[in-house]
Each structure stands twice: as C-alpha cells, then as structure tokens.
Chains A and B, each alone.
Chain A
Amino acid sequence: MIALEKRPTPSRFWTGITPFLAVLATMIAGGIMFAILGKDPFAAIRTIFWDPVFGEFAFYYRSQLLVKAGPLILIAIGLSLGFRAGVWNIGAEGQYIIGAICGAAVGLAFYPTESFLIFPAMVIAGGLGGFLWAMIPGILKVKFQTNEILVSLLLVYVAEAILASMALGALKNPDGAGFPGSRNFRSYPSAYNEDLIANTGMHWGVVFAFIAVIFAYILLSRHMLGFQIKLAGQAPRAARFGGVNPDRLILFCLGVSGMLAGLAGLFEVSGPAGQVSIDFNVGYGFTAIIVAFLGRLHPIGILLAGLLMALTYIGGELAQSNLGLPAAAIQAFQGMLLFFLLAVDVLTNYRLRFGNREVA
C-alpha cells in the first residue's frame, strides 16, 4: 500500500523541485500528444519553451512575455488575497472590463487636450471602476449574504454587454466612419500607456504588477491585515474571536482584487490593446485565477506562474504558425501543464509512505 502522510511543514525541497517535475511530465505527455498529431514532439517542445526566450527572435518575445504576464500577475495578486481569506471573486474579468471602460472614458473625454495629468486621471478612474464593480458582490454579500461567486461571475456577462454597447455607442470613434471601437490611444500621447523603455514591453501595467507583488508580500508577511486574511481563511471561527471583522475583510478583499483587475484593464486598453472594442477582453480575468493557484497564492509564486503562463501562450502561438499545430492542441497542452503542476503539489505537503500505515 502506498499512503500519503501529511508533512508537519511543507517541504522546501519539494516546493522548489515540483514545478520542474511538472514541466518535465507535461513535456513527455504533451510530446506524446504532438507525436500522435503527427508533429515532431521535440521541435514542438523546443518551440514552446525555448524559442520565446532564447530563440532567434527572442528580443521581441521576451518583451511580449511581460506584456502578457503583466495583467495576469496584477489580477492574480488581487485575487490571491481574497482566495486566502475565503472570499471567492470569480468575476475579475468583469472588473477588468469595467476598469478599462472607465479609464478609457476619462481619457477619451479629454481628447485632444494634452496634459501630463490625463494618464494619472485615467489610472484612478480605471482602478475606481474595477473597485466599484467588485463592490456590487461585496455589498450584496455583506448586506444580504448573497453568494459572491455567483454574483461576481454573472456580472462578467453584464460587463460584456456594457462593453459591446460602449464600443458601438458612447465610446465609438467619431472619426471611425460608423465602425465600432473607440479612438486608438496610440495616436493620443497624453493617454497612451507606452513602453517606459522602448521595445521592452515594460509599460506601466507591468510596473504596477511588480509593485503589487511587493506590496502583497509585505502585507502577508509583515502586516496585521495580512495575518487576519490568512487566519480568516484557515480558521474562520478563530478569526472572529480574534477580533477580525468579517464584513470589513470581505469588502477589503473584493475591493482590492477589483481595483487591481480594473487597473489591469486600464493599462491594457490604453497600451497594448490600444482601444475599446467589442471583444476587448480576452479572458485574463479567468486565466488569472489559474495563475493565482499555480503560484500557490504566494506573491512570488504568482509572479513566476504568470510568466510561465505567458510563456506557454507565446510559445504556443509560435508552435501554431511554425509547426502548424492546431490552437486546440496548445489549449490541451496548457490544460495538461496545469494538471501536472497541481498533481505534483501533493509532494510538497505530503510524504509518500510505502507499506502499512502506522496507527497513531
């Protein structure tokens, strides 16, 4: 009999080694899948994991890694606080959309005035938009005990309808000959979220993502609030006796995650995406949930997980156009990677025991 035995504390050795094990296992399983599809498995794996970072055009892809990972990390950091406290914000996608709309609306309202104040105003509006959108499930939860998973998720669909309406109506480019979509921020310097260092992909959103990682790290390891968050998640009853106000904690977690998602939306719309369009959102809000868990809800882990997810996206695209792999195979491959990462996690917290379990 093989049995699992809980370790007294998570193993440091396995924490370090498991992600590599998972990636290795994915390479093998994914390689088999690629071979079944009639593609060279070694070429496919190399294209996905190696080429974006060290390949011929890595100078470009490295910058794109940041562009792709930035919003994922920013959103995931916010979500991880709530997830630790047992507050389930599944609707970051909606907060991301609303943040983008609010921020973009502020910027477009000032068009074509040039001022260094415009972009900061947009940032505030974006954060506020996401914050307020997340306050809907927050207040409903606190006031009426309405389930926040459901409300935040349903609000994603509402936000998508608002987005379509904005792209086709209020925010439509007046010079766009009736076509949907807002003005492009690229042609509006005061509102454009440009690479801070050209061609590095390092825009304000990435900077904010790094700042968020640091703040979350300090909050969780040094601050009373961080302690309360962890306590509320692990032992809700103890937390209540310990003087944690659950309502305040719910509002804080939802508010912060909403604000960060809103900021991510604003940075995306004013930078890499460039405009409000009908299909502006591409699922960062949902992918960020995966990133948060892959990173084990730890700020540094989330940083790495975000970069890894970005790598599979970009490498996956490369494999599609270079090797003709269908997009579906890449999706399945990403799913596998997640399965393995989640599966090997067991080794960190548990020890394998062979033979009969002792009676304790």
Chain B
Amino acid sequence: MDLSSISPTLLIASLMVAATPILLAAIGELIVEKAGVLNLGVEGMMITGAICGFAIAVETGSPVIGFIAAAAGGALLSLIFGVLTQYLLSNQVATGLALTLFGLGLSSLMGQSYVGIKPPQTNKLDIPVLSDIPVLGPILFNHDIMVYFALALVVLVWLGLNRTRAGLVLRAVGENHDAAHALGYKVIRVRLLAIMFGGACAGLGGAYLSLIRVPQWTEGMTAGAGWIALAIVVFGAWRPFRVLLGAYLFGGVTVLQLNLQAAGLAIPVEYLSMSPYLITIAVLVVMSAKRGRTSLAAPASLGRIFHASQ
C-alpha cells in the first residue's frame, strides 16, 4: 500500500471532471423541481443529449456545435414530458420513467452508425501562466471549458432563483401553483420552460460524457448518471450551491475509492465500490437530522398536477 502516491491536487482536479456531467444534469433538474415538476427522465434526456451532441460534433467537426445540439436534443425530448404532464396532465413519476425508457431506445437507434468513432477533441483551456501555479493551477485553471460552464451555471441559477423576478415567479409556481395562477402567472408556460431548461442541461451533461469525459459513443453509456443527478438534487435540498457540493462530494468519493484501490488499500473492493452511495446516505441523514425537517425544503407543489379548474 502506498497512499503517498495519491496526489490530492490531481484528485481534486479529476473529481471536478468526474462530477461535471452529474452537476449539469442536477442543476437543470433543480430548476425543474423548483417549478414544482418532478421529471424522473433525466437518464433518458442525458443519453439523448450524449448521442445528439456526439453525432453533430462528428458531422460538423465542432464540439461547440455538438454541445448546442445536445442541449437542443435534450430540450426537445423533455418537451414530450412537458406536453404530457402539463397539457395532458399525466402522472409525472410514470411519465418521467417512460421518458427514460424511450430516451434509451431512441438514442441507441440514432447512434447505430456512430459506434467506434472518435469525436473531435475539445481542448483544455490551458491558461498559460495560471495553470502552472502549483496546486491551484491544476485545480482551477487547467480544465476544459465545460467544467467552468457548469460552475458558472450554478452561480447563474442561484442568482436567477434568488435575485430576479423570473426566479421569484418560478419559485411561486413551484410552491403553490394555485396561488401563482391566481396572481396571473402562466403556470404551465413557466413549467414548460423549466422542463426544457432541465432537458437542455441534462443533454449537456450527457454530451460531456460522450464528447469529453469518455469520449466515444456507446449505447447506455450514461450508466445511471441521471439517477445520481436526481439524488443529488434532493441531497442538495434544492439549493444550487448544495447541489454543487453534493455533485463534487459524490464525484470525489467515486474518484477517491478508485484511487484507494489503485494504491492498494486493504479494504475489500465491494465496500469501496458501494462507498459513494453509503457516504451520500450518511451525509444526507446527518443533514436532515440537523435540519429537522427536510420536507420543508422541497417545493410544496412538487410532483402535483396543476389544472386551472374553476
């Protein structure tokens, strides 16, 4: 065993990369849930984004266009969920699960001719001088642009939710849709936009996997990341910075357990591989025990069907 071979600096740098897809999807889902909608189809939207982004990036040779296409693809798929749940008032839990099933199937159909291709490379944002600073350099200044984008998104979402009128409306819709409706807000329109935002973010998260982190296209490549993103939202108590913390914590434990294994730590592998989940549960219990009532943090109308009946 040689724990000294684990470099904390590199560990932090790589946990940021590992956490980015989950973070992107989770921050999108946070907005969806803040609007009072529970979309369990994150996995389906992520994988659809993964293939849309991959295919377009390969065709155009531009990862940027790929990411835009991924966001569009995710948003488009989420629109199915939006129409079903908002206009046809279907059950959100079931519709979300169906969306995942459909997304997984659709993506592998779309991806059949993209197996075994290498996508165009996304360059690291190697900021000259800054990235050479010891410790801080690799952590802060030596990533690809999407890592920064995800971080910026967290800040923007926080600002948007807490400092803008749009955020206020969104939260009002999520807390009490009848009251929001009575105040003249377009509940359904707000929710549709939120759902599409969530879909776009999930799409970006998926494309981050297929274009940067892995990078290749394979069927089912999200391998449960969407579910983790959902868990992170609840974990983060619907607050952007806590979601960030949750995603980094989860990414960190995932990366750390692999590092511990590689260093030959004498802990049975099965315990190591379940550790990210157990630690997430443990932290969650501590947090909810302290806070007393987690339920208060959840948007009050979460998952409830809105119909503007008389």
Contacts and interface: CB of A to CB of B under 8 A. Distances in A.
A146 B288 contact: yes
A144 B284 CA distance: 10
B103 to A, nearest CB: 7
B2 interface: no
Contacts of B101: 290, 331, 334-335, 338
A315 to B, nearest CB: 15
A197 interface: no
B80 interface: yes
B37 interface: no
B165 interface: no
B281 A161 contact: no
Contacts of A359: 310
Interface range on chain B (Cβ under 8 Å from partner)? 35 or more
A342 B288 contact: no
A331 B44 CA distance: 12
B113 interface: no
Nearest to A297: B91
Contacts of A187: none
Given A146-B288, A342-B95, A328 B102 contact: no
A210 interface: no
Interface string B241-282: 000000000000000000000000000101001100110110
Interface string A315-339: 0000000000011111111111011
B79 to A, nearest CB: 12
A37 B109 CA distance: 9
A329 B274 contact: no
Interface string B84-96: 1000111101110
A221 interface: no
Nearest to B40: A90
B294 interface: yes
Interface stretch (A59-67, A113-121, A199-207, A344-352): A344-352
Bin the interface of chain A by size: 35 or more
A164 B271 CA distance: 11
A41 to B, nearest CB: 15
A290 to B, nearest CB: 5
B293 A5 contact: no
Nearest to B273: A161
B105 A155 contact: no
Interface string B106-140: 11110010000000000000000000000000000
Contact of A339 (B102, B108, B291, B293): B102
Contacts of A144: 285, 288-289
B277 A145 contact: no
Given A4-B89, A147-B294, A140 B285 contact: yes
20 contacts: A6-B307, A140-B281, A145-B288, A145-B294, A145-B295, A146-B294, A150-B234, A154-B231, A154-B278, A161-B274, A290-B98, A292-B94, A293-B97, A328-B109, A329-B105, A331-B101, A331-B102, A335-B101, A338-B102, A350-B89
Interface of A: 4-6, 37, 83, 88, 140, 143-147, 149-151, 153-155, 157-158, 161-162, 164-165, 286, 289-290, 292-294, 326-336, 338-339, 342-343, 345-346, 349-350, 357, 359-360
Given A326-B109, A335-B103, A338-B95, 20 more contacts: A4-B307, A83-B93, A144-B285, A146-B284, A150-B234, A150-B281, A150-B284, A151-B281, A155-B277, A155-B281, A165-B270, A289-B93, A326-B108, A328-B108, A330-B105, A334-B101, A334-B102, A338-B101, A338-B102, A357-B310
